[in-house]
Amino acid sequence: MTCTGYPKKGKATDYVARLYLGRLGKIDNGIVAVVSSGLVDGLTFPLMFEIYKPKERLKLKDSYLSKPQITTQMIREIKAMRFEIDYVLADSLYGKIRVHLFAVYKD
């Protein structure tokens, strides 16, 4: 599980906001995706992604989810697809918010 940020100019693209962008190492205008990947026989492949929707950029139909909450939702979806999960590796942000991730394993 990781967050990937992409710099963007302006705000014409949905969910663009001033966010921490790891590839730039600073807060800047951009869009962030929470990405899950799998590992099988030494090969890494993408499973799914979800665009992070900052509170200040939500649309009427949107509901706010933090990045750890998005991650938790993804893990539940991956488990529902019957993928076997042995380990979850995540960015340092998730280490500070263990409750969300560990709650998934109680399901």
Task: Check: CB of residue 54 under 8 Å from CB of residue 80.
Answer: no
Instruction: With beta carbons less than 8 A apart as the criterion, state whether 67 and 93 touch.
Output: yes
Tens digits of residue pLDDT in 2-39? 888 999 998 899 999 999 898 898 999 999 999 999 98
Note the pLDDT of residue 95. 47
Q: Which of 72, 79, 74 is nearest to 103 (CA)?
A: 72
| DSSP type of residue 61 | T
Q: What is the pLDDT of residue 101?
A: 54
pLDDT at res. 8? 95
| DSSP-assigned beta bridge partners for residue 1 | none
Which residue type is seen at 47? L
Per residue in 56-104, pLDDT (tens digit) is: 999 999 999 988 889 889 988 998 999 888 877 776 554 455 555 555 5
Q: What is the three-class DSSP state of 40? A: strand
How far CA 29 is from CA of 5, 26, 40, 54, in Å, comes to 10, 10, 35, 12
Which of 42-46, 50-54, 79-83 has the highest average model confidence (pLDDT)? 50-54
